[in-house]
Each structure stands twice: as structure tokens, then as C-alpha cells.
């Protein structure tokens, strides 16, 4: 029997690598850069017009014909512009003595026609995609954008409250210390402050008063979400909601590059519709090109570093020892494949269902 392989979600935090990211428009447009161009975070890579309002017009019923025959009477084909009250379709009846007409209710462009209906694009707004971080264009995505390369650190976080932003990193607590108001002094103004553990409500109030660029912390109580929606800066959590300390490897990278500018990106949703992990990129000049960021999926196997996702070990990290040879019956009555995890900084090991783990790649 072939050995089963399990592919938990991965979280990456790398102190130095060659990083490439695709920056893509949501709809086709015009690309403004070429391969080899240097770019800054604010460089516009591509622009497009995105429909803001689509009007659906029924033409079959007014023309008194079956939906499959309605297209025969169209006066404008898809791609053509149309003015309000201009004929979309017409049909002569009673030996040509009378004409049934369907007029456009708006100015716009005919997007599609079929099934007895016409879709009219009645408005648009300009959208653009910016580089998001400094680097070099290594590939052009025709009509959509480009692939940007930089060298530096990469941290994949758990959650972000905002859009892309950037600022100088300033670590103001230890890894296990909650972020409180007294830790945020006037020097924090205009910086991204880093707190190792969870965020206290007083810290949000103080950060708002001092106009920080953003906060990166290990975690935050979900009860603070209404307050987060009111502040003027984004918040990034590396571990999740609750009272969790930042992973030592992530805290080490942020401390190592204190004083450098970090760029936080909020990638588009994944193909399955789930949100993508926010990413923290810290460009680092280096004469020797570092190794590329690891590619491809990694399956669960002995020796890998993992993080545990459920109580009573939620947020703890450890190393995979071995996998169960058959599904186990859990206390809940469910059967699941399990992995033996040697917890960091602790003697002994625990067995955990494989779907309660995520792989840490550093």
C-alpha cells in the first residue's frame, strides 16, 4: 500500500532570500513597465478600467420572441458603444406596419448578449497595481502586471487589518511582553512598532495619539476588533487571535532588521476563495545574491518544524517525530491520522491530528 502524504498549510519566515512576487491587475489593462526596470514601492506597474455598473436588459419579452431567437434582432453587437434611448434591438410585425423596439436605458458599452438578454457596461473606474516594494521587474505579465524581484527577509503573517503599507521597523518589547501604552514613546511616530506578544487596548489608544504607521504583534484578543476598525493605521498579527507570543524565529528577523523599512503586502484571495496570508518584506542590499525562496509544497515528515493550531497546545511549536501508522480514534469520536510532536523547550512529546498542524519553513 502506498504511503499517505499530508500537506498542511505552510508559513514561511526567511531572514535572507531572493524573493519574487507577482503583482497583477484584477482585469486586463495596460502594462507600463518593461523587464529590467527598477521600481519603487509606489511605481505603477499597470492600469485598467474596471466596470462599476452592469445593466441587464431583457430584449426577448418586449420583442415577443423566444430567448434563443432574440439575438437575431440586435442592432448593436458586443463591443459596440450605445447611447441612452438608442435602439438595442427591433422587430417588425404586422407585415412591417409596426415595429417593436427595445431601447438602451443608459450610455455604455455592450458587454455580452445571449439568452434573450443584453449586458451593458454603464460605467468604469480606473484601477492600478503598484509594485508594493522596491525591486526589479524580472517578468512582464501581458495586460495584467509584472513579477518583481527583491533580496531580503520574508515573513508570512496570520492576519492583517488593512491594505499594503510600509514604514521603518521599531521593536519596542521583548518577545513575550504584551504591547502596552507605556512602551510607545514619541519616537514611535511614523514607524511600524513591533510588540512580541499580544496587544493591550491602551496600546491602540497611544499608537493613535502618536500617529504610528502600523503595528506588528504576535496576537490580539478578538474583542478588540471594533476598536481596530476605528484606528487610522493597519495591524498585522503573526500568530493569530488570543494571547500568543510571536514565534522566536519571526521575532529574531524583525529585531535583526530594526531600523530598516518593511513593506507589508496583502495578496489577493487564493484560488479557493480563502484569504491569503499577509506578507512582510524587508529589502536588504547584498552583493552576493542569496538563495531563492523555497518553492513547491512540502509534505509532513519527521524533522520538520510545525506549529500547533488547537488547544491545549495552540500556538506552541515543535518538531515532527513520527506519523501514526493508522488513524486514531480521538476523544471526540472522530478518527484522524496523527503526528508525534516534540515540543520546543519542553521534555516529552504529544500526539496531534495532522490537520491541527501547520509547517514552518525558515
Q: Are residue 214 and residue 357 in the same domain, yes or no?
A: no
Question: DSSP label at 269?
Answer: P
The pLDDT of residue 175 is: 95
- List, for residues 134-171, the tens digit of each pLDDT value: 999 999 999 999 999 999 999 999 999 978 999 999 99
- List, for residues 33-49, the tens digit of each pLDDT value: 999 999 999 999 999 98
Q: Are residue 190 and residue 315 in the same domain, yes or no?
A: no
Q: Does the pLDDT at position 84 exceed 50? A: yes
Q: Are residue 106 and residue 57 in the same domain, yes or no?
A: yes
Per-residue pLDDT, averaged over 277-289, amounts to 93
Q: Are 245 and 345 in contact (CB under 8 A)?
A: no
Q: Distance between CA atoms of 103 and 254, rounded to whole angstroms?
A: 61
The pLDDT of residue 282 is: 98
Q: Are residue 116 and residue 153 in the same domain, yes or no?
A: no
Q: Are residue 85 and residue 222 in the same domain, yes or no?
A: no
- List, for residues 190-239, the tens digit of each pLDDT value: 999 999 999 999 999 999 999 999 999 999 999 999 999 999 999 999 99
Q: Are residue 110 and residue 164 in the same domain, yes or no?
A: no
Burial class (CB in 10 A: 0-12, 13-18, 19+), 357: buried
Tell me, yes or no, whether 142 lies in a domain.
no
The pLDDT of residue 12 is: 94
> Which of 283, 313, 346 is the C-terminal boundary of a domain?
283
CATH number of residue 356's parent domain:
2.30.30
Average pLDDT taken over every residue of the chain: 91
Cis peptide before 312 (omega within 30 of 0): yes
> Which of 283, 315, 349 is the C-terminal boundary of a domain?
283
Q: Are residue 269 and residue 340 in the same domain, yes or no?
A: no
Q: Are residue 254 and residue 171 in the same domain, yes or no?
A: yes
Q: Does the pLDDT at position 276 exceed 80? A: yes
> Which of 248, 283, 318 is the C-terminal boundary of a domain?
283
Percent helix, strand and coil across the chain, each to the nearest 5: 10, 45, 40
Identify the domain containing residue 194 by its residue range: 10-21+147-283
Q: Distance between CA atoms of 70 and 62, rounded to whole angstroms?
A: 10
Of residues 97 and 192, the one with the higher pLDDT is: 192
Q: Are 181 and 195 in contact (CB under 8 A)?
A: no
Q: Does the pLDDT at position 2 exceed 60? A: no
Tell me, yes or no, whether 313 lies in a domain.
yes
Q: What whole-number percentage of the chain has pLDDT above 70?
A: 99
CATH number of residue 217's parent domain:
3.50.30
Amino acid at each position: 500500500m502506498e504511503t499517505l502524504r499530508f500537506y498542511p498549510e505552510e508559513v514561511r519566515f526567511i531572514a535572507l532570500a531572493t524573493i519574487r512576487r507577482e503583482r497583477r491587475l484584477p482585469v486586463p489593462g495596460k502594462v507600463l513597465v518593461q523587464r529590467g526596470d527598477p521600481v519603487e514601492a509606489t511605481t505603477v506597474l499597470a492600469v485598467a478600467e474596471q466596470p462599476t455598473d452592469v445593466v441587464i436588459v431583457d430584449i426577448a419579452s418586449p420583442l415577443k420572441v423566444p430567448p434563443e431567437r432574440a439575438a437575431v434582432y440586435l442592432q448593436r453587437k458586443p463591443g459596440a458603444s450605445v447611447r441612452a434611448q438608442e435602439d438595442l434591438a427591433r422587430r417588425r410585425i404586422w407585415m412591417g406596419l409596426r415595429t417593436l423596439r427595445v431601447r438602451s436605458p443608459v450610455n455604455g458599452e455592450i458587454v455580452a448578449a445571449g439568452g434573450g438578454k443584453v449586458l451593458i457596461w454603464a460605467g468604469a473606474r480606473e484601477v492600478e497595481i503598484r509594485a508594493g516594494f522596491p525591486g526589479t521587474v524580472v517578468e512582464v505579465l501581458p495586460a495584467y502586471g509584472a513579477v518583481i524581484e527583491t533580496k531580503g527577509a520574508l515573513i508570512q503573517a496570520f492576519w492583517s487589518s488593512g491594505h499594503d503599507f510600509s514604514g521603518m521597523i521599531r521593536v519596542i518589547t521583548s518577545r513575550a511582553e504584551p504591547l502596552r501604552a507605556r512602551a510607545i514613546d514619541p519616537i514611535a511616530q511614523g514607524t511600524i512598532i513591533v510588540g512580541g506578544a499580544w496587544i493591550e487596548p491602551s496600546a491602540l489608544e497611544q499608537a493613535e495619539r502618536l500617529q504610528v504607521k502600523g503595528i506588528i504583534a504576535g496576537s490580539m484578543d478578538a474583542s478588540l476588533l471594533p476598536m481596530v476598525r476605528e484606528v487610522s493605521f493597519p495591524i498585522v498579527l503573526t500568530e493569530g487571535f488570543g494571547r500568543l507570543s510571536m514565534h522566536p524565529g519571526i521575532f529574531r528577523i524583525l529585531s535583526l532588521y530594526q531600523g530598516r523599512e518593511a513593506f507589508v503586502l496583502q495578496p489577493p484571495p487564493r484560488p479557493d476563495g480563502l484569504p491569503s496570508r499577509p506578507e512582510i518584506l524587508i529589502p536588504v542590499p547584498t552583493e552576493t545574491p542569496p538563495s531563492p525562496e523555497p518553492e513547491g509544497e512540502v509534505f509532513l515528515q519527521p524533522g520538520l518544524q510545525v506549529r500547533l493550531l488547537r488547544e491545549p497546545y495552540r500556538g506552541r511549536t515543535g518538531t515532527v517525530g513520527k506519523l501514526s501508522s493508522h488513524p486514531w480514534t480521538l476523544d471526540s469520536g472522530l478518527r484522524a491520522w496523527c503526528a508525534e510532536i516534540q515540543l520546543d523547550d519542553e521534555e516529552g512529546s504529544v500526539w496531534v491530528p495532522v490537520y491541527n498542524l501547520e509547517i514552518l519553513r525558515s
